[in-house]
Structure 1
């Protein structure tokens, strides 16, 4: 099947799938977009004439950041028509894909909330310790600081401070930092 045949098929299949609409753009794969952010990409199978592959897609980059997401894919004979393809998608692909897509979205929302809390804690620490340096990656932020003779570091994972190290600080500074971290993390 060539590109325009796939595009035509996707437009017709969308008419038979409740809540789905076609997304067809020249030079891009053809998609069926549906409720709750469902996206199905449709590709021809290059060595099997008149067969297509339908693949359930997770939100941008989720498979790389959320390990364990299952791949949802079926192959279908397109020669049997759009109604047949839609029935196969509905029966063989969508039930498990919808369940896993919902779980993926919940995990992404939880991660976003954790990252927001982590950003608040880091912001508080930087306000208290303006000379602090930050090292960030996707899962943690390390705040290193030096104030007069005192120094230390905080490693913040997700929504909690996991490791605190303070060296040679007076009691007042230690209590201010502890109070600020506790206040922001609750």
Structure 2
């Protein structure tokens, strides 16, 4: 099958898959896009005339978050028509792919929430400590500060927990931190 035959097939298959629409762009693979961010990419199998490979794709950025989720793909004889291909996709690919896609999207949403909470905390710290420096890592941000002889860091982790380190603190600073901890515990 050549590129335009695959594109035509994708357009026809979308008519038989509820909630799916074709995404066809010259020079790019043909996709079936569906509910909840589902994307199925369709490729011809170069050494098996008349067969295609349909692969369920996870959202961008999810490889590192969901490495254990399996790859969902099937091969289908395209010569049997769009309705046949749609039935095979519905029966053999979509059930497991949908389940894993939901898991993946939930983890991505959780990661986005964690990043938002971390950003809020870091913004507050930077406002309170205007001369602080930031170091961003994948799931944590380190805010380093210096005030006269005292220095320290706040490491804000992705799960909204933080680590505080203070070096060369004078008595007043120690008492203020202790008071803040006491207030937090009551």
Q: Deviations over 1:142-171 (max 9, x none)?
A: 111111111011211113233211112346
In 2 relative to 1, CA 34–121 (structure 1 residues): closer, same or farther, beyond 3 Å? same
Alpha-carbon contact 1:33-1:40 (below 8 Å) kept: yes
1:69, CA displacement in angstroms? 2.2
1:121, CA displacement in angstroms? 1.1
Q: Which residue of 1 aligns with 2:101?
A: 101
Q: Which residue of 2 aligns with 1:33?
A: 33
Alpha-carbon contact 1:128-1:177 (below 8 Å) kept: no
Structure 1: distance between partners of 2:179 and 2:144: 15
In 2 relative to 1, CA 17–178 (structure 1 residues): closer, same or farther, beyond 3 Å? farther
Alpha-carbon contact 2:65-2:107 (below 8 Å) kept: no
In 2 relative to 1, CA 178–167 (structure 1 residues): closer, same or farther, beyond 3 Å? farther
Structure 1: distance between partners of 2:178 and 2:39: 46
* Displaced runs of 4 or more, over 3 A: 170-180
1:140, CA displacement in angstroms? 1.1
1:129, CA displacement in angstroms? 1.2
Q: Which residue of 1 aligns with 2:77?
A: 77
1:130, CA displacement in angstroms? 1.2
RMSD: 2.1
1:173, CA displacement in angstroms? 4.4
Q: Which residue of 2 aligns with 1:67?
A: 67
Uncovered stretches (5+) of structure 1, i.e. residues with no partner: none
TM-score (norm 1): 0.90
Structure 1: distance between partners of 2:180 and 2:108: 30
TM-score (norm 2): 0.90
Q: Which residue of 1 aligns with 2:5?
A: 5
In 2 relative to 1, CA 130–75 (structure 1 residues): closer, same or farther, beyond 3 Å? same
1:28, CA displacement in angstroms? 0.7
Query: Within 5 A, what are the aligned runs for 1:1-186?
Result: 1-170=1-170, 173=173, 175=176, 179=180
SS for the counterpart of 2:96 is: helix
Structure 2: distance between partners of 1:92 and 1:178: 61
1:137, CA displacement in angstroms? 1.6
Structure 2: distance between partners of 1:153 and 1:118: 15
1:66, CA displacement in angstroms? 3.0
